[in-house]
Amino acid sequence: MTDIIQTRLLSKQYGSATAVSNVSMNVKQGEIYGFLGPNGAGKSTIMKMLLGLVKPTGGQIELFGERLLVDSIDHLKRIGHLIETPVFYERLTAEQNLELHGEYMGYYNPQAAREALELVELLGVENKQVRQFSLGMRQRLGIARAISTRPELLILDEPINGLDPEGIHAMRILFRRLRDEWGISLLISSHLLSEIEQVADTIGVIHHGRLIREVSMDTVRASTTEYVEIVTPNVNHAAFVLADKLGIQQFKRTGEQSIRVYETKMTQEALSKALIMNDVPISSINRRHQTLEEYFFNMIKGGETDAASHQAGA
């Protein structure tokens, strides 16, 4: 898959404050890329730089395989976006708002507005004035407007903010349909892990303006499976017994005295018995499950340690 977005060492300073620092990210064509990070992490600033709404103070951006220059504008027609609260002409209908947008973007397709409204399930209220719309309807209309010009890339900043559970569920289905049926690549931000992990193919974790990690959800899922943690004063012997006597391949030393066994076909009791029979002294043995929260928390903690040691070494 080719990259639809690629940034290299992208940075933004506001005076002496660093909003975004050396971000090198890759969004592949046809995927849903989730930006995950707390408020103020720098997600919106990165999105605005991709859209040319904020000027970077360092680094490079490539969109659709082409380097973005200060005066590049052609790519904007290939991107739909929803950044912050969408603004509409309140006394015009939903459909009129979309038609006006199509004209403004130079996209002439009489079906486009209705198709987009149908996809976000607003067909039926297309002739209502937008001032009568709820928050959830406005959010969906914002997305309809963003996709009504058939973009190849959709950039959505916190699109589920303020939606009720039903609205969030509908949004998730919509994102997948846009990817699968319309072939759109999506960059979506959220400060909620539970939201991003359910919809993203790849997650970019942003913290204090830095991209701490870019990881596929398949890798995340594989890392959050169950394992058995064995604490023993003789790790070498334990490793030998696991591999050579018990034929277990999937284990990892995680400390001076600990080993994690990922292959969990054996029960904890059977494993414990087999180790003792083979003269492995055991201080403790426990079945554990690393949750997604733990996985990302550890990632962020690791990222902070890296940054601290980098600064200390600088």
Ligand X SMILES: Nc1ncnc2c1ncn2[C@@H]1O[C@H](COP(=O)(O)OP(=O)(O)OP(=O)(O)O)[C@@H](O)[C@H]1O
CB of 34 to ligand X, least distance (A): 13
Q: Which residues contact 285 (CB under 8 A, 6 or more apart)?
A: 228, 229, 230, 231, 268, 271, 272, 275
Phi, psi of 205 (to 5 degrees): -95, 120
Q: Which residue has the tokens 């009129």?
A: 96
Instruction: Assess 14 for contact with ligand X (CB under 6 A).
Output: yes
Instruction: Assess 300 for contact with ligand X (CB under 6 A).
Output: no
Instruction: Assess 39 for contact with ligand X (CB under 6 A).
Output: yes
Query: In the window 176-235, what residues touch ligand X (CB under 6 A)?
Result: none
Residue from 6, 11, 26, 45 touching ligand X (CB under 6 A): that is 45
Instruction: Assess 61 for contact with ligand X (CB under 6 A).
Output: no
Q: Which residue has the tokens 């289905």?
A: 173
Strands 79-82 and 3-14, sheet pairing: unpaired
Instruction: Assess 102 for contact with ligand X (CB under 6 A).
Output: no
Binding range to ligand X, per CB under 6 A, among 13-21, 145-153, 268-276, 304-312: 13-21
Coil, helix or strand for 136?
helix
Binding range to ligand X, per CB under 6 A, among 38-46, 213-221, 229-237, 301-309: 38-46
Query: In the window 125-184, what residues touch ligand X (CB under 6 A)?
Result: 158
What sign results for the dihedral spanned by CA atoms 69, 73, 75, 80?
A: positive
Asked if residues 60 and 5 have their Cβ atoms less than 8 Å apart, the reply is no
The residue among 37 and 159 lying less far from ligand X, judged by its C-beta, is: 37
Instruction: Assess 65 for contact with ligand X (CB under 6 A).
Output: no
Residue from 4, 19, 154, 163 touching ligand X (CB under 6 A): that is 19
Can you name the residues that pair with 207 across neighbouring β-strands? 210
CB of 78 to ligand X, least distance (A): 23
- Nearest-angstrom CA–CA distance, 83 and 48: 8
Q: What would the two tokens of residue 78 be? A: 């290939």
Residue from 5, 27, 43, 86 touching ligand X (CB under 6 A): that is 43
Phi, psi of 234 (to 5 degrees): -125, 75
CB of 209 to ligand X, least distance (A): 6
The residue among 39 and 311 lying less far from ligand X, judged by its C-beta, is: 39
- Nearest-angstrom CA–CA distance, 271 and 269: 5
User: By the criterion CB under 6 A, which residues form the site for ligand X?
Assistant: 14, 17, 19, 37, 39-45, 158
